[in-house]
């Protein structure tokens, strides 16, 4: 493992001017501000036609990872930026707290994460590091294994298990789609289990950061949230309302042998506790 990149983020802005697809992120390790641009393949965003405006290669380490459903997870290097608490403008005087955009005087400014490439808001992705030349992914479950040059090591894993980011996303997507979630007593949540093993048993660590699971895509992450809520509610001797417009957790239900049909206190819908069919 090389020096850890402290802040990675999900590239959320779809109309970004520069959309870089590095040929291999290993060649981009620890690039200083004054370094020349890295070699990369520059392509326009998929939802934005090429206007003929010249686009420069991105000099910051990053990767575009294809998911199983054909969508792409954009991972970029980020940085912290101080903005105005009122209008979120970065045009502020840090020492005096004066915002030149809205003219307000802030006693305390807000620090956010932004993408180094387009300055849009970012989400922190911990545990991601650049891989060394002698690194070998233990999973190799996808064709593009190690192509991004990025690896992940879960914070709660005491054994230090690590794999490439491509295999991590594919493994999480597969387990979420099958509702293969694991209860962690330490984290007090249902989540995806660590991809490593200790002898003949699976590693008990779980993915404890929700932003890492967002890498699987919006549809699967929504499914993960639903599965985790349902299983947590059942663990607490409750159930989830089966009405699609409700899906609230219902506790303190009567025993099933006494009353099968119950009424949701939130949407007033009536359903069966056993088969979850509503009427």
pLDDT of 221 reads 93
* Single pTM value for the model: 0.66
Q: For 278, list phi and psi in degrees, rounded to 5.
A: -100, 155
pLDDT of 29 reads 35
Give the domain ranges of the chain: 1-174, 237-272
- Parts of the chain with a pLDDT under 50: 1-57
The C-alpha atoms of residue 92 and residue 109 are separated, in whole angstroms, by 9
Give the distance between the most distant pair of CA atoms in the chain.
73
pLDDT of 87 reads 92
pLDDT of 174 reads 94
Contact 110, 83 (CB under 8 A): yes
Q: 116 CB contacts (<8 Å, ≥6 apart)?
A: 60, 76, 77, 78, 79
Give the three-state DSSP class for 229. helix
Give the three-state DSSP class for 127. coil
The one-character DSSP state at 252 is S
Kind of pairing between the strands at 20-22 and 201-202: unpaired
pLDDT of 36 reads 30
Contact 168, 39 (CB under 8 A): no
pLDDT tens digits for range 116-167: 877 778 888 888 888 888 899 999 999 889 998 899 988 888 898 999 999 9
């Amino acid at each position: 493992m090389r020096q850890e990149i402290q802040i990675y983020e999900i590239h959320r802005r779809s109309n970004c001017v520069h959309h870089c697809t590095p040929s291999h992120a290993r060649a981009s390790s620890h690039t200083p501000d004054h370094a020349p641009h890295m070699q990369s393949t520059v392509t326009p965003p998929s939802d934005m036609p090429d206007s003929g405006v010249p686009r420069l290669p991105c000099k910051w380490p990053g990767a575009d990872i294809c998911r199983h459903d054909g969508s792409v997870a954009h991972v970029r290097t980020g940085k912290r930026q101080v903005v105005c608490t009122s209008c979120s403008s970065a045009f502020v005087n840090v020492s005096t707290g004066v915002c030149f955009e809205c003219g307000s005087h802030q006693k305390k400014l807000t620090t956010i994460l932004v993408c180094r490439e387009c300055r849009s808001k970012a989400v922190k992705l911990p545990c991601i590091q650049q891989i060394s030349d002698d690194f070998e992914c233990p999973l190799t479950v996808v064709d593009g294994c190690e192509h991004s040059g990025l690896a992940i090591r879960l914070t709660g894993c005491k054994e230090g298990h690590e794999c490439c980011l491509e295999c991590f996303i594919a493994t999480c997507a597969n387990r979420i789609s099958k509702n293969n979630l694991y209860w962690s007593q330490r984290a007090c949540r249902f989540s995806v289990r660590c991809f490593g093993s200790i002898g003949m048993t699976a590693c008990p660590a779980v993915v404890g950061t929700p932003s890492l699971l967002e890498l699987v895509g919006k549809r699967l992450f929504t499914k993960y949230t639903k599965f985790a809520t349902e299983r947590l509610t059942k663990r607490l001797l409750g159930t989830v309302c089966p009405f699609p417009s409700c899906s609230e957790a219902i506790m303190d239900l009567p025993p099933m042998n006494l009353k099968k049909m119950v009424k949701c206190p939130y949407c007033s819908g009536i359903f069966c506790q056993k088969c979850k069919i509503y009427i």
